[in-house]
Structure 1
């Protein structure tokens, strides 16, 4: 692999959590229902006011210009054509305004910054650009120990590339991050606030208490704490803690349509894919669109065989 492929594909430490995310889906089995007369399937869903053609979003991934010259705009254009949303990374290599010009439905991922004045300016900027939600990454008080990047000496972007929405500054990790920061963000924006990186059910309950509109069960794609629980294994307890009060999404390890079905059957409102989209972007916007449409076709087929017309027809007793 090249240095940049390692950046996208790698995880933290010995990459145990990276593998565990995939293995968790491999362990699950679907128990189909029969004679349900589903007819044509309907994959559409609405999430926090965002209409999606299927319960899938592109997860926030950094530095798209390392994958293809079209960068984030290429991925966003593919998402728009497919009728799904894209979560733009704070580490995007193109300006949010340029990405928004694709017409894609965008959410924006934020690492809470110690410089609150800059953070407020950034929130105003992305809101003006038309993003529909703020996705706050809460699992990164410090940067993950990413073995492949360290071995490759990949610590900086190549000349000519920057984090285009950071006004020339570095993204800061903040080890003082607390629920007070979430309260401040809640007060600072009228957009839906989504907390990404929830794994413990107690934190899921606190997210509701502190005004989150949704949570994403995520371990940062295995790129932060190596040895952390797989997201699919964490999902049921988080769902129980939330108790239906807000939507629960999940990412990590999703590689095929049946993986999406398993997550939806267990109770997730939608799923996100990161590496799948980046792998597609290596072939340009058409590559991203192909990956999305493959997942759509696989999910549609799996729903028919599982005896469901729409994702809401699935139930946890169909998964073992």
Structure 2
């Protein structure tokens, strides 16, 4: 365990540094956007606000994920990271809507923009984003959904700053102010794309979806094929907790010479072929009476109560 701990400690410090950089520059961009009258800067600042929120949630998630499991939370609080990513994605979508709304207002009533001042702030914002992105990208050797989410934010933000710089240059050289809302819309589209991907991924995990790269039917066939004593695999539940796959399954086996050795082989097989470290295997010698091992809803649950009396 020592190994992964130093890792999340490194992640934590990087996240904290990136959070501070982002928060300071967000304030600078809000002030700059208001003083220069630039929507692209304000869009970028709004974006930086979600960045800061994303980083803060990622920080809290890393903090909670390192807490030990207990009787009330047998998986620890690993799910918090997924929940944070989910909330994060929703926040991004809301911000996008606000930017689009404001851009539409600007097309109808163009406002003067101070190009030179806008350029200075935009360049500073770009440098801040580069710094945050470097900090985060360095720390995500392990595919942590939150560090990834935070890096995605910062990357989108980088493009936002580039957009603001481009808009400032165009305004300085041609005086054409509508470029400002146009580029803020472009930023919005980029943000929306990453938000949607994140929303889908975290929602799937919250609904106990199976890991996208694992096929349950294939896994059942592979187990029966590769371990001769295994006759039948059923009642498989496979889900993710904090990006770690967890499985429970029933398996009908030919009565083995050594029960525990067979169990070990099944566990090793799951670990080796599917990277599943947490498996619960129920071994049976007779074929399982279906009613007893399916997740039952409604009236069959009622029958159960009678069976067991």
Q: TM-score range by the shorter chain?
A: under 0.3
Larger Rg: 2
TM-score of the superposition, structure 2-length normalised? 0.21
**Alignment TM-score, normalising by the size of structure 1:** 0.20
| Larger RCO (CA under 8 A, 6+ residues apart) | 1
Q: Going by fraction, where is helix more abundant, 1 or 2? A: 2
